[in-house]
Structures are given as C-alpha cells and as structure tokens.
Amino acid sequence: MINILNFILDILFPSICINCGARVRGLDYHICPYCRDELKPAENSCPVCGGLVNSGDCTICNSRKVYMSGNIPVYEYSGSVKKLLHGLKFHSLRNAYRIFVPGMAAAAASIVVKPDLITPVPMSRRKLAERGYNQSFLIASALGRYLDIPCVHLLKERPGFRSQRGLGRLERYINVIDRYKACDINKFSGRTVLLVDDVFTTGSTINECSRQLLRCGAYAVYSITVARADPDKLTI
C-alpha cells in the first residue's frame, strides 16, 4: 500500500537531484543514488574539536577552551552536501536532512559512551517563525530514533542576537557569548548529552551550547554536525 502511495506521489510530485538534475523518487530526498555515493566525508579532523587539521595544526581550538568531550563533523561542507543543506535551510526542502542520518548514526558509534540524551542547537523564535522548522531539531530527532536515544529540547536561544552568517571568526566567538540558556536543568543534570547541529564552521555555537549545558549540570557533552565548513571561507 505504501509502495503504491509512493508511486503515485512520485508521479504527482516529481523531484530532481539537487546536484546533477536527474529525476529522482520522493524517497531519494532530492539526490540521486549516484550523487549520494559521492558525499564527501570529513577527513583530517582534530581529535579535540573536530576542526580541520592542516600540517598537524588545528586553528579552531589551539587558542581557546573546548567544552565538548568530542565533536564529530560527518561530511565536508561542499558539493552535494552544501546544496542539500542550503535547500534544507533556505529553499524549504524539508526532507533533505534525511539523507545524512544513517551516516551520522554510523559516525556517532565512535563516541566512547552512549549518550543519555540528544538535543539540537536551538533556534530563535523569530527565525523559527520565518523558516517553520529548526533543521537541527529535525536531524536530532531522526538521529535519536535511529540510535534509540531520547531527543529533548534542553536549550533556548535568547532573543536579540545577530545571525552568525556573514561574521568573521572573532565576531563569531563574541556573538554567541551567553546566547543560550537551559530550558529545564532537571532534564539533564548528571547526564551525557549529544548536541546536534547542521554545520561546524568555527565551532563557536556548539562550544557555547556545550559550555552552558555543563554549567547547568550536564556530566559531559559530545557533539555531531552534518558538515564541516572551512573557517577560512566564512561566506555561509
């Protein structure tokens, strides 16, 4: 029955691959099987912060404290990954995140302890009203179902902060200070939390979220992001 329904939906609402333009089924989530196989995994990740290590040096964490016990960026923010995330965030391709979930679940297996809770990086009310959904929540809840870990809202974004888009490295560090607050400390006191976000650029956002969770009583925070952007190309 579900197959028949999908067949009808594919005829009524044909979709194309976001990368090569080939016609795809609805269940392919905007990317054809060929381009899906080409998604580029993040490599040379810093063991401390997950940033890109060049010539043995991590430019993200060598000059500041990192609050995560570990961060896993799963793909490089380029090619089809970048197009899918842009579609998800700016062109209402709400299902585009689904393609990343199995790869993220496999990557999360490298975390040494199983987290008690999964939570997304929160989104301001204003932005949520604009977009209609928090893409990090969609990813976190799907990942939670995959890993059998409860996904809960643990943080809120305070109003009045600028978007990180268009800001330089130092501005990004400053712009997130005290941006987040805990929703309900009883939910995560003494627990290990897995924080989920879409793109890791300078790590400022997940580091500040981790700091706040630890300050409010979390035992440890790990984080995972769909992709890692090059902080030297801050144009996302």
* Minimum CB–partner distance for residue 33 and Zn ion (Å): 8
CB atoms within 10 A of CB 188: 23
Contacting residue, 28, 39, 42, 46, with Zn ion by CB under 5 A: 46
* Region binding Zn ion by CB under 5 A among candidate stretches 6-14, 58-66, 177-185, 191-199: 58-66
- Please pick, from the candidates 39, 42, 52, 60, the single residue that binds Zn ion as defined by CB under 5 A: 60
- Contact with Zn ion (CB under 5 A): which of 19, 69, 210, 225? 19
35 interacts with Zn ion by CB under 5 A: yes
20 binds Zn ion (CB under 5 A): yes
Q: What are phi and psi of 189, to 5 degrees?
A: -60, 125
* Residue span binding Zn ion (CB under 5 A) among the ranges 10-18, 70-78, 92-100, 101-109: 10-18
CA angle 79/51/142 to nearest 5° reads 65
Q: Which single residue is written with the structure tokens 């960026």?
A: 73
Neighbouring residues of 39: CB distance < 8 A, sequence distance ≥ 6:
75, 79, 80, 81, 99, 103
Taking the least distance from each CB to Zn ion, the nearer of 72 and 152 is: 72
Q: Minimum distance from CB of 111 to Zn ion (Å)?
A: 17
Question: Tokens 């700016």 map to which residue?
Answer: 90
> How many C-beta neighbours within 10 Å does residue 145 have?
14
Contact call for residue 170 and Zn ion (CB under 5 A): no
The helix (run of H) or strand (run of E) holding residue 221 is strand 220-228
Beta strand 180-182 with 155-157 is antiparallel
Query: Any contact of residue 231 with Zn ion (CB under 5 A)?
Result: no
> Is residue 157 within 8 Å of residue 122, measured between CB atoms?
yes
- Residue 232 CA to residue 101 CA, distance in Å, equals 27
Among 52, 58, 117, 143, contact with Zn ion (rule: CB under 5 A): 58
* Tokens of residue 157, six digits: 């974004």
State the binding string over 61-90 for Zn ion (x if CB under 5 A, else -): x-----------------------------
49 binds Zn ion (CB under 5 A): yes
Range in contact with Zn ion (rule: CB under 5 A) among 28-36, 108-116, 166-174, 188-196: 28-36
Nearer to Zn ion, 28 or 157 (CB): 28
* Total of chain residues touching Zn ion, rule CB under 5 A: 13
44 binds Zn ion (CB under 5 A): no
The angle that helices 79-90 and 135-147 make with each other, rounded to 10 degrees, is: 110
First to last CA, the chain: 42
Query: Which residues here bind Zn ion, judged by CB under 5 A?
Result: 17, 19-20, 22, 32, 35, 46, 48-49, 51, 58, 60-61
